[in-house]
Structure 1
């Protein structure tokens, strides 16, 4: 199973297992979700830079936001985290290079780890 497939499967598992947030109280896993948003934004930019076409990583982010169904302020923070990951990489990387390929591998590993650990720690 490829890292891409494992990461997507772990993300789907996370979406299914996370408990619904209770009102205005911050979920204990919220900071992890913001970091995951940054990772997804980074992957969306970098993988497309290296030839992937489509919006898979943005769709994964949309699924995460939909599953969380956050209040408007938290939704804005999640979207901002995705955009921060996208923008920070677009300001640095203009071409697909060995460094970009290495960054993609690191983000894939981190995203897979975040989703797996969050599902295990906070899943139902």
Structure 2
């Protein structure tokens, strides 16, 4: 007669010691001026490329100005990402086209300076800051 084999011992299942990752903070709703701010960041990106290649005296300033904007308005990770994305979009749009200053690069640069100034004044006038 064969002896019944005993079943292998079952391991006790201990509760998982891994802690669940906390949910990321909920993004607040966008500011009423978000669309204008993203456009301003995109313009700043374009100017960061165009102004230096056209030897404008303010050429080196556009990257610094964007850093200031990010510090002031990049209040959440999502917002910082959107602002930086808009800046990069503006920069890359012209990086594909311009390597040297041309009359059209100068014209685009001048138009963006005017549009950026208007946007900055509009945002500050309507929403303070």
TM-score normalised by the chain length of structure 2: 0.74
Which residue pairs with 2:44 in the alignment?
40
Number of equivalent positions: 102
RCO higher in 1 or 2 (8 Å CA, sep ≥ 6)? 1
1:112 aligned residue: 117
- The alpha-carbon deviation at position 100 of structure 1 amounts to 0.8
Change (3 A) 1:78 1:69: closer
TM-score (normalizing by structure 1): 0.76
C-alpha distance in 2, partners of 1:24/1:41? 25
Trace 1:72-111 onto structure 2 (pairs within 5 A).
Answer: 72-111=77-116
CA distance in structure 2 between the partners assigned to 1:122 and 1:55 by the alignment? 28
Residue-by-residue CA offset, 1:26-52 (whole Å, 9 max, x unaligned): 110011110000100000100111124
47, 51, 54: which is aligned to 1:50?
Answer: 54
Deviates more, 1:23-32 or 1:74-83: 23-32
**SS of 1:82 mapped into structure 2:** helix
Aligned match of 2:22: none
Q: Which residue pairs with 1:61 in the alignment?
A: 66
**In 2, Cα distance between equivalents of 1:57 and 1:69:** 17
| Aligned-residue RMSD, C-alpha | 1.6
The CA deviation string for residues 38-89 of structure 1, in whole angstroms up to 9 with x for no partner, is 1000001001111247631011011011011421011011001000000001
Please say which structure displays the higher CA radius of gyration: 2
